[in-house]
Structure 1
């Protein structure tokens, strides 16, 4: 039995070799789209926090109900999730 396994190894498995990893086709385009998406998420987070801060000042000045702190907290929580998405995916995979 061991002679059959040895012959199988020499004929079939020894021809497979050690493949070298290479990037899949269009990988550079996918990475570029990922960088654009990251830039868009950061820009939208900065815009949301700026808008929430301005609205907070407006509500404070007019004496209205303060709903903007929830907006600022939501934008900050969303930014934390968006920023850590890559780390979370790396740990899952």
Structure 2
């Protein structure tokens, strides 16, 4: 019984001596970050193109009648907000 308690005590002593580890980037982190930057650029460009398209369609529907373009503009705006704030959202979720 005393050998078990001694082992548990040694384990806790060893664990108490471990310092806070210093985080370091994983292998190929620069390639992953480059891919994330490309994806962010693509998401922003697709949002800009969709807003331009929806604006043109809005003008066309104003002239010819219709009501689909306000939904397209709202969808593009909401998608842009979510795409650009994804990093902030993930930092908030993961830092809890």
TM-score w.r.t. the length of structure 1 is 0.79
Residue 47 (structure 2) aligned to one of 31, 45, 48: 45
Q: Which has the higher contact order (CA 8 A, sep 6+)?
A: 2
Unpaired stretches in structure 1, ≥5 consecutive residues:
none
C-alpha RMSD of the superposition: 2.4
- Stretches (4+) displaced over 3 A: 12-20
* TM-score, scaled relative to structure 2: 0.76
Cα distance change of structure 1 residues 17 and 75 upon mapping to structure 2, 3 Å threshold:
closer
SS of residue matched to 2:85: helix
How many residue pairs match? The answer is 88
**1:70 corresponds to:** 71
The unaligned stretches of length 5 or more in structure 2 are none
